[in-house]
């Protein structure tokens, strides 16, 4: 992510209350602060690979917001897919 996802831009937290989705990226305020939440109940019995994939997925959403102001959490278009391919290369 080329140093764009700093501690001033993104907070990553485990959530014991999230039970419907494995991860979620939300945006706070008018600045470029994001919260990535990972579901403890859904991920605690998953492999480390699945946890990493979930984290990376949400980090791409955070990166899209921090770099371009894209707040659409459902956006899995060309920019999202290109970043995913770059990470997996």
Separation of alpha carbons 50 and 38, rounded Å: 12
User: Which spans in the chain are helix H?
Assistant: 40-43, 48-68, 78-88
53 counts as catalytic: no
Q: Which of 40, 58, 74, 86 is catalytic?
A: 58
Q: How far is CA 66 from the centre of its chain?
A: 11
- Which residues are designated catalytic? 58
């Amino acid at each position: 992510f080329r140093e764009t996802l700093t501690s001033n831009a993104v907070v990553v937290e485990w959530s014991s209350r999230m039970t419907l989705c494995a991860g979620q990226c939300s945006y706070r305020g008018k600045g470029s602060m994001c919260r990535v939440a990972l579901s403890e109940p859904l991920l605690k019995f998953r492999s480390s690979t699945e946890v990493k994939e979930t984290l990376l997925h949400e980090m791409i959403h955070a990166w899209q917001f921090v770099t371009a102001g894209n707040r659409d959490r459902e956006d899995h278009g060309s920019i999202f897919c290109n970043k995913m391919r770059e990470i997996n290369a």
